[in-house]
Amino acid sequence: MAKEYDVLLRLMLLGDSGVGKTCLLWRFTDNDFHPSHISTVGIDFKMKTLDIDGIKVRVQIWDTAGQERYQTVTKEYYRRAQGILLVYDVTNEHSFQHIVKWASDVDESAPDQVKRILVGNKCDVDQRRRVSTEQGNKLAQSYGMDFFETSAFTDYNVKEAFARLTQLVLDGNRKDPDGLWVNVSSDLSTRDLQQDEIGQGVAEKAEGVCLC
Least spacing, CB of residue 5 vs ligand GTP, in Å: 26
194 binds ligand GTP (CB under 6 A): no
Query: What span, in angstroms and rounded, lies between the C-alpha atoms of 142 and 131?
Result: 16
Q: For residues 115-134, which are near ligand GTP according to CB under 6 A?
A: 121-122, 124-125
Do the Cβ atoms of 24 and 149 come closer than 8 Å? no
Select 52 or 125, whichever has its Cβ closest to ligand GTP: 125
Q: Which stretch binds ligand GTP (CB under 6 A): 3-11, 136-144, 151-159, 169-177?
A: 151-159
**Using CA atoms, how far apart are residues 141 and 146, in angstroms rounded to an integer?**
7
Interface map 65-104 toward ligand GTP (x if CB under 6 A): xxx-------------------------------------
Select 16 or 197, whichever has its Cβ closest to ligand GTP: 16
Q: Are 135 and 96 in contact (CB under 8 A)?
A: yes
Please report the DSSP string for 86-117 in residue order: EEEETT-HHHHHTHHHHHHHHHHHS-TT-EEE
With respect to ligand GTP, which residue has the nearer C-beta, 127 or 185?
127
With beta carbons less than 8 A apart as the criterion, state whether 149 and 117 touch. Answer: no
Cα gap 49→81, rounded to integer Å: 17
Residues that bind ligand GTP (CB under 6 A): 17-23, 34-40, 65-67, 121-122, 124-125, 151-153, 210-212
